[in-house]
Amino acid sequence: MSEALSADLTSFDDAPRPGAEPDGNAPSRFGKVLGDAGIHVPSTLYNEALALARDGHLGQAQARLQMLLCLDPDDGEAHLLLAKVHTAQGRWNEALTRLDAAVSAGVVPPAGLREGLEGQIRSERSREEEHRARVAARELGELKALRHETRSLRGETIRLETEVGEGRERERAWKLLAIAAGVFGTLVILFLIISAPSAASKAAAAQAAAPLAAPGAAVAIPSEAAAPDEVLAAAPVAKVAPAPVVVAPAAPKGPRIHVVGKGDTLGRLSGKYYGKSSAWQKILDANPQLGKDGAKLSVGMKITIPE
Protein backbone atom coordinates (compact mmCIF):
# COMPACT_ATOMS: atom_id res chain seq x y z
CA MET A 1 0.00 0.00 0.00
CA SER A 2 2.89 2.39 0.78
CA GLU A 3 4.46 1.69 -2.63
CA ALA A 4 1.15 2.46 -4.36
CA LEU A 5 0.82 5.70 -2.39
CA SER A 6 4.37 6.73 -3.31
CA ALA A 7 3.69 6.01 -7.01
CA ASP A 8 0.58 8.16 -6.89
CA LEU A 9 2.47 11.06 -5.38
CA THR A 10 5.28 10.87 -7.98
CA SER A 11 3.27 10.12 -11.10
CA PHE A 12 4.43 13.39 -12.79
CA ASP A 13 1.03 13.85 -14.44
CA ASP A 14 1.17 17.65 -14.16
CA ALA A 15 0.06 19.64 -17.20
CA PRO A 16 2.91 21.26 -19.18
CA ARG A 17 3.04 25.04 -19.51
CA PRO A 18 1.79 26.46 -22.80
CA GLY A 19 3.90 28.36 -25.29
CA ALA A 20 7.09 26.29 -25.30
CA GLU A 21 8.13 22.84 -26.31
CA PRO A 22 10.99 21.11 -24.49
CA ASP A 23 14.03 20.35 -26.67
CA GLY A 24 16.47 19.13 -23.93
CA ASN A 25 18.88 22.08 -24.45
CA ALA A 26 17.17 24.99 -22.71
CA PRO A 27 20.09 25.99 -20.38
CA SER A 28 22.54 26.15 -23.29
CA ARG A 29 20.16 28.18 -25.41
CA PHE A 30 19.54 30.51 -22.47
CA GLY A 31 23.26 31.08 -22.02
CA LYS A 32 23.72 31.63 -25.72
CA VAL A 33 20.90 34.18 -25.84
CA LEU A 34 22.41 36.05 -22.91
CA GLY A 35 25.84 35.93 -24.54
CA ASP A 36 24.48 37.31 -27.81
CA ALA A 37 22.94 40.12 -25.78
CA GLY A 38 26.33 41.01 -24.33
CA ILE A 39 25.64 39.50 -20.92
CA HIS A 40 28.37 37.01 -20.07
CA VAL A 41 26.49 35.04 -17.41
CA PRO A 42 28.92 32.06 -17.22
CA SER A 43 31.89 34.34 -16.62
CA THR A 44 29.96 36.35 -14.04
CA LEU A 45 28.89 33.19 -12.22
CA TYR A 46 32.43 31.79 -12.32
CA ASN A 47 33.96 34.99 -10.92
CA GLU A 48 31.35 35.20 -8.16
CA ALA A 49 31.91 31.53 -7.26
CA LEU A 50 35.68 32.07 -7.14
CA ALA A 51 35.32 35.11 -4.88
CA LEU A 52 32.89 33.31 -2.55
CA ALA A 53 35.18 30.27 -2.34
CA ARG A 54 38.14 32.49 -1.42
CA ASP A 55 36.04 34.08 1.36
CA GLY A 56 35.08 30.64 2.69
CA HIS A 57 31.46 30.71 1.49
CA LEU A 58 31.70 27.25 -0.06
CA GLY A 59 27.97 26.55 -0.20
CA GLN A 60 27.21 29.73 -2.17
CA ALA A 61 30.18 29.11 -4.47
CA GLN A 62 28.89 25.61 -5.15
CA ALA A 63 25.45 26.96 -6.03
CA ARG A 64 26.91 29.46 -8.54
CA LEU A 65 29.04 26.79 -10.21
CA GLN A 66 26.12 24.38 -10.48
CA MET A 67 24.08 27.15 -12.10
CA LEU A 68 26.97 27.85 -14.47
CA LEU A 69 27.25 24.18 -15.45
CA CYS A 70 23.55 24.11 -16.18
CA LEU A 71 24.13 26.86 -18.74
CA ASP A 72 27.37 25.35 -20.07
CA PRO A 73 27.86 21.66 -19.09
CA ASP A 74 31.18 21.55 -20.97
CA ASP A 75 32.89 24.33 -18.98
CA GLY A 76 36.01 22.48 -17.79
CA GLU A 77 37.23 25.35 -15.60
CA ALA A 78 33.88 25.38 -13.76
CA HIS A 79 34.18 21.61 -13.20
CA LEU A 80 37.71 22.06 -11.85
CA LEU A 81 36.70 24.92 -9.52
CA LEU A 82 33.74 22.88 -8.27
CA ALA A 83 36.13 19.94 -7.67
CA LYS A 84 38.26 22.23 -5.50
CA VAL A 85 35.14 23.41 -3.62
CA HIS A 86 34.10 19.80 -2.94
CA THR A 87 37.66 19.05 -1.80
CA ALA A 88 37.50 21.91 0.70
CA GLN A 89 34.14 20.52 1.87
CA GLY A 90 35.66 17.07 2.39
CA ARG A 91 33.42 15.49 -0.24
CA TRP A 92 36.16 13.43 -1.86
CA ASN A 93 34.10 11.27 -4.22
CA GLU A 94 32.17 14.21 -5.66
CA ALA A 95 35.42 16.17 -6.04
CA LEU A 96 37.00 13.27 -7.98
CA THR A 97 33.93 13.09 -10.24
CA ARG A 98 34.18 16.82 -11.05
CA LEU A 99 37.91 16.46 -11.62
CA ASP A 100 37.30 13.72 -14.19
CA ALA A 101 34.75 15.96 -15.92
CA ALA A 102 37.30 18.80 -16.05
CA VAL A 103 39.92 16.49 -17.57
CA SER A 104 37.35 15.29 -20.13
CA ALA A 105 36.76 18.94 -21.08
CA GLY A 106 40.50 19.39 -21.73
CA VAL A 107 41.51 21.15 -18.48
CA VAL A 108 44.78 20.08 -16.85
CA PRO A 109 44.27 19.72 -13.08
CA PRO A 110 46.88 20.83 -10.53
CA ALA A 111 49.63 18.30 -9.88
CA GLY A 112 48.86 16.01 -6.95
CA LEU A 113 45.17 16.88 -6.74
CA ARG A 114 44.00 13.52 -8.07
CA GLU A 115 46.50 11.61 -5.93
CA GLY A 116 45.41 13.55 -2.87
CA LEU A 117 41.74 12.85 -3.53
CA GLU A 118 42.38 9.17 -4.14
CA GLY A 119 44.46 8.99 -0.95
CA GLN A 120 41.67 10.62 1.03
CA ILE A 121 39.16 8.18 -0.43
CA ARG A 122 41.38 5.24 0.49
CA SER A 123 41.87 6.61 4.01
CA GLU A 124 38.16 7.14 4.40
CA ARG A 125 37.45 3.62 3.23
CA SER A 126 40.13 2.31 5.57
CA ARG A 127 38.59 4.20 8.48
CA GLU A 128 35.18 2.86 7.58
CA GLU A 129 36.56 -0.67 7.40
CA GLU A 130 38.32 -0.23 10.74
CA HIS A 131 35.14 1.11 12.24
CA ARG A 132 33.17 -1.82 10.87
CA ALA A 133 35.87 -4.18 12.19
CA ARG A 134 35.70 -2.59 15.64
CA VAL A 135 31.93 -2.79 15.65
CA ALA A 136 32.07 -6.42 14.52
CA ALA A 137 34.68 -7.24 17.19
CA ARG A 138 32.61 -5.52 19.87
CA GLU A 139 29.48 -7.36 18.77
CA LEU A 140 31.42 -10.63 18.69
CA GLY A 141 32.74 -9.99 22.20
CA GLU A 142 29.24 -9.20 23.43
CA LEU A 143 27.96 -12.35 21.75
CA LYS A 144 30.66 -14.44 23.43
CA ALA A 145 29.87 -12.84 26.78
CA LEU A 146 26.18 -13.59 26.31
CA ARG A 147 26.99 -17.20 25.41
CA HIS A 148 29.20 -17.54 28.48
CA GLU A 149 26.51 -16.03 30.68
CA THR A 150 23.94 -18.36 29.14
CA ARG A 151 26.12 -21.39 29.89
CA SER A 152 26.64 -20.14 33.46
CA LEU A 153 22.92 -19.64 33.95
CA ARG A 154 22.23 -23.07 32.48
CA GLY A 155 24.74 -24.64 34.90
CA GLU A 156 23.26 -22.71 37.82
CA THR A 157 19.78 -23.87 36.83
CA ILE A 158 20.92 -27.49 36.73
CA ARG A 159 22.58 -27.11 40.13
CA LEU A 160 19.46 -25.59 41.66
CA GLU A 161 17.26 -28.29 40.16
CA THR A 162 19.59 -30.93 41.63
CA GLU A 163 19.47 -29.29 45.06
CA VAL A 164 15.68 -29.07 44.91
CA GLY A 165 15.48 -32.77 43.98
CA GLU A 166 17.82 -33.74 46.82
CA GLY A 167 15.82 -31.60 49.23
CA ARG A 168 12.61 -33.33 48.20
CA GLU A 169 14.24 -36.72 48.69
CA ARG A 170 15.43 -35.73 52.18
CA GLU A 171 11.98 -34.40 53.03
CA ARG A 172 10.41 -37.66 51.86
CA ALA A 173 12.91 -39.68 53.93
CA TRP A 174 12.23 -37.59 57.04
CA LYS A 175 8.49 -38.04 56.59
CA LEU A 176 8.89 -41.81 56.31
CA LEU A 177 11.16 -41.81 59.37
CA ALA A 178 8.65 -39.76 61.34
CA ILE A 179 5.83 -42.13 60.37
CA ALA A 180 7.94 -45.16 61.34
CA ALA A 181 8.85 -43.54 64.67
CA GLY A 182 5.21 -42.76 65.36
CA VAL A 183 4.13 -46.32 64.58
CA PHE A 184 6.93 -47.74 66.75
CA GLY A 185 6.03 -45.44 69.65
CA THR A 186 2.35 -46.43 69.36
CA LEU A 187 3.26 -50.13 69.47
CA VAL A 188 5.48 -49.60 72.56
CA ILE A 189 2.69 -47.75 74.37
CA LEU A 190 0.17 -50.48 73.50
CA PHE A 191 2.59 -53.16 74.74
CA LEU A 192 3.08 -51.36 78.05
CA ILE A 193 -0.67 -50.87 78.50
CA ILE A 194 -1.36 -54.56 77.82
CA SER A 195 1.50 -55.95 79.95
CA ALA A 196 0.99 -53.70 83.02
CA PRO A 197 -2.29 -55.37 84.33
CA SER A 198 -0.80 -58.84 83.89
CA ALA A 199 2.21 -58.05 86.10
CA ALA A 200 -0.02 -56.51 88.77
CA SER A 201 -2.27 -59.57 88.78
CA LYS A 202 0.65 -61.95 89.19
CA ALA A 203 2.04 -59.94 92.14
CA ALA A 204 -1.35 -59.94 93.88
CA ALA A 205 -1.74 -63.71 93.45
CA ALA A 206 1.73 -64.38 94.88
CA GLN A 207 0.94 -62.23 97.89
CA ALA A 208 -2.33 -64.07 98.58
CA ALA A 209 -0.71 -67.51 98.37
CA ALA A 210 2.08 -66.76 100.90
CA PRO A 211 1.23 -68.20 104.53
CA LEU A 212 1.30 -65.50 107.19
CA ALA A 213 1.60 -65.95 110.98
CA ALA A 214 -1.60 -65.11 112.77
CA PRO A 215 -1.25 -61.99 114.81
CA GLY A 216 -0.98 -62.75 118.63
CA ALA A 217 -0.15 -66.43 118.19
CA ALA A 218 1.93 -67.95 121.02
CA VAL A 219 5.35 -69.29 120.29
CA ALA A 220 6.39 -72.40 122.24
CA ILE A 221 9.56 -71.91 124.22
CA PRO A 222 11.41 -75.18 125.11
CA SER A 223 12.62 -75.89 128.65
CA GLU A 224 16.09 -75.07 129.85
CA ALA A 225 17.00 -78.75 130.02
CA ALA A 226 16.37 -79.30 126.45
CA ALA A 227 19.30 -79.47 124.21
CA PRO A 228 19.97 -76.61 121.99
CA ASP A 229 19.35 -78.79 119.01
CA GLU A 230 15.98 -79.78 120.43
CA VAL A 231 15.09 -76.19 121.14
CA LEU A 232 15.89 -75.25 117.55
CA ALA A 233 13.97 -78.22 116.25
CA ALA A 234 10.93 -77.51 118.41
CA ALA A 235 10.75 -73.83 117.64
CA PRO A 236 8.45 -73.07 114.69
CA VAL A 237 9.97 -71.02 111.93
CA ALA A 238 7.95 -67.91 111.20
CA LYS A 239 7.57 -67.18 107.52
CA VAL A 240 7.86 -63.54 106.57
CA ALA A 241 5.32 -62.41 104.03
CA PRO A 242 6.82 -60.82 100.93
CA ALA A 243 6.35 -57.11 100.53
CA PRO A 244 3.42 -56.25 98.33
CA VAL A 245 4.25 -55.04 94.83
CA VAL A 246 3.07 -51.48 94.38
CA VAL A 247 2.26 -50.55 90.79
CA ALA A 248 2.64 -46.86 90.17
CA PRO A 249 -0.46 -45.39 88.59
CA ALA A 250 -0.06 -44.38 84.95
CA ALA A 251 0.41 -40.69 84.35
CA PRO A 252 -2.88 -39.02 83.59
CA LYS A 253 -3.38 -38.38 79.93
CA GLY A 254 -4.80 -35.26 78.49
CA PRO A 255 -3.72 -31.74 77.51
CA ARG A 256 -1.04 -29.99 79.54
CA ILE A 257 -0.72 -26.33 80.40
CA HIS A 258 2.56 -24.54 79.67
CA VAL A 259 3.49 -21.05 80.82
CA VAL A 260 5.45 -19.36 78.06
CA GLY A 261 8.95 -18.38 79.11
CA LYS A 262 11.62 -16.18 77.53
CA GLY A 263 12.91 -17.65 74.27
CA ASP A 264 10.00 -20.07 73.86
CA THR A 265 8.80 -20.64 70.29
CA LEU A 266 6.33 -23.10 68.86
CA GLY A 267 9.22 -25.09 67.36
CA ARG A 268 11.05 -25.30 70.71
CA LEU A 269 7.89 -26.31 72.58
CA SER A 270 7.21 -28.97 69.95
CA GLY A 271 10.72 -30.37 70.44
CA LYS A 272 10.34 -30.28 74.24
CA TYR A 273 6.98 -32.07 74.45
CA TYR A 274 7.00 -34.22 71.31
CA GLY A 275 10.69 -34.76 70.65
CA LYS A 276 10.52 -33.05 67.24
CA SER A 277 10.13 -29.46 66.19
CA SER A 278 7.94 -30.25 63.19
CA ALA A 279 4.80 -30.82 65.35
CA TRP A 280 4.39 -27.10 66.13
CA GLN A 281 1.19 -26.95 64.03
CA LYS A 282 -0.47 -29.26 66.59
CA ILE A 283 0.18 -26.72 69.37
CA LEU A 284 -0.97 -23.85 67.14
CA ASP A 285 -4.24 -25.63 66.29
CA ALA A 286 -4.94 -26.18 70.04
CA ASN A 287 -4.40 -22.49 70.85
CA PRO A 288 -6.35 -20.27 68.43
CA GLN A 289 -5.52 -17.24 70.62
CA LEU A 290 -1.97 -17.34 69.20
CA GLY A 291 -3.13 -16.10 65.84
CA LYS A 292 -2.72 -17.57 62.36
CA ASP A 293 1.06 -18.09 62.52
CA GLY A 294 1.75 -17.92 66.28
CA ALA A 295 2.72 -14.24 66.14
CA LYS A 296 0.80 -13.48 69.37
CA LEU A 297 2.90 -15.87 71.51
CA SER A 298 4.22 -13.86 74.49
CA VAL A 299 6.03 -14.47 77.81
CA GLY A 300 3.68 -15.39 80.69
CA MET A 301 0.90 -16.64 78.41
CA LYS A 302 -0.66 -19.99 79.35
CA ILE A 303 -1.10 -22.29 76.39
CA THR A 304 -2.44 -25.82 76.00
CA ILE A 305 -0.08 -28.63 74.98
CA PRO A 306 -2.26 -31.41 73.48
CA GLU A 307 -1.32 -35.07 73.57
**CATH number of the domain where residue 55 is located:** 1.25.40.10
Look at residue 302 and give its three-state secondary structure: strand
Q: CA 216, CA 233: separation in Å to the nearest integer?
A: 22
Look at residue 292 and give its three-state secondary structure: coil
Residues sharing a CB contact under 8 Å with residue 259, sequence separation 6 or more, in sequence order: 300, 301, 302
Q: CA 60, CA 62: separation in Å to the nearest integer?
A: 5
End position of a domain, from candidates 86, 110, 134: 110
Q: List the one residue out of 222, 211, 219 whose CA is nearest residue 236.
A: 219
Reported as a pLDDT band with limits 50, 70 and 90, residue 296 is confident
CATH of the domain at 279: 3.10.350.10
Q: What is the mean pLDDT of the chain?
A: 81
Query: Quick check: 71 and 41 in contact, CB under 8 A?
Result: yes
Query: Is residue 155 assigned to a domain?
Result: no
End position of a domain, from candidates 110, 143, 169: 110
Query: Is residue 156 assigned to a domain?
Result: no
CA atoms within 13 A on the CB side of 266: 21
Residue 2 has pLDDT above 60, yes or no: no
Reported as a pLDDT band with limits 50, 70 and 90, residue 196 is confident
Q: Tell me the pTM.
A: 0.41
Output the pLDDT for position 183. 93
Output the pLDDT for position 210. 52
Residue 82 has pLDDT above 80, yes or no: yes
Residue 122 has pLDDT above 70, yes or no: yes
Query: Is residue 225 assigned to a domain?
Result: no
Q: CA 92, CA 306: separation in Å to the nearest integer?
A: 96
Task: Dump pLDDT digits (tens) for 170-186.
Answer: 999 999 999 999 999 99
Higher pLDDT, 11 or 113: 113
Over range 13-40, report the average pLDDT: 68
Over range 87-104, report the average pLDDT: 95
Reported as a pLDDT band with limits 50, 70 and 90, residue 291 is confident
Query: Quick check: 215 and 164 in contact, CB under 8 A?
Result: no
Q: How many domains does the chain have?
A: 2
Q: CA 251, CA 274: separation in Å to the nearest integer?
A: 16
Over range 80-89, report the average pLDDT: 96
Query: Is residue 73 assigned to a domain?
Result: yes
Query: Is residue 212 assigned to a domain?
Result: no
Residue 191 has pLDDT above 80, yes or no: yes
Query: Is residue 4 assigned to a domain?
Result: no
Q: List the one residue out of 279, 282, 286, 281 whose CA is nearest residue 178.
A: 279
Question: Residue 258: what are its φ and ψ, rounded to 5°?
Answer: -125, 135
Domain carrying residue 66: 25-110
Alpha helices, DSSP H, located in 41-91: 41-54, 58-71, 76-89
Output the pLDDT for position 72. 87
Q: List the one residue out of 107, 111, 119 whose CA is nearest residue 81.
A: 107
Task: Dump pLDDT digits (tens) for 197-240.
Answer: 655 566 665 665 555 444 444 444 444 444 445 444 444 544 54
Residue 100 has pLDDT above 80, yes or no: yes
- Chain center to CA of 1: 43
Helices 41-54 & 58-71, crossing angle to 10 degrees?
A: 160
Instruction: Output b/e per residue, 60-89; b: 16+ Cβ within 10 A.
Output: ebbebbebbbebbeebbbbbbbbbbbbbee
Q: List the one residue out of 83, 101, 82, 95 whose CA is nearest residue 124.
A: 95
End position of a domain, from candidates 77, 110, 143: 110
Output the pLDDT for position 33. 73
Reported as a pLDDT band with limits 50, 70 and 90, residue 56 is very high
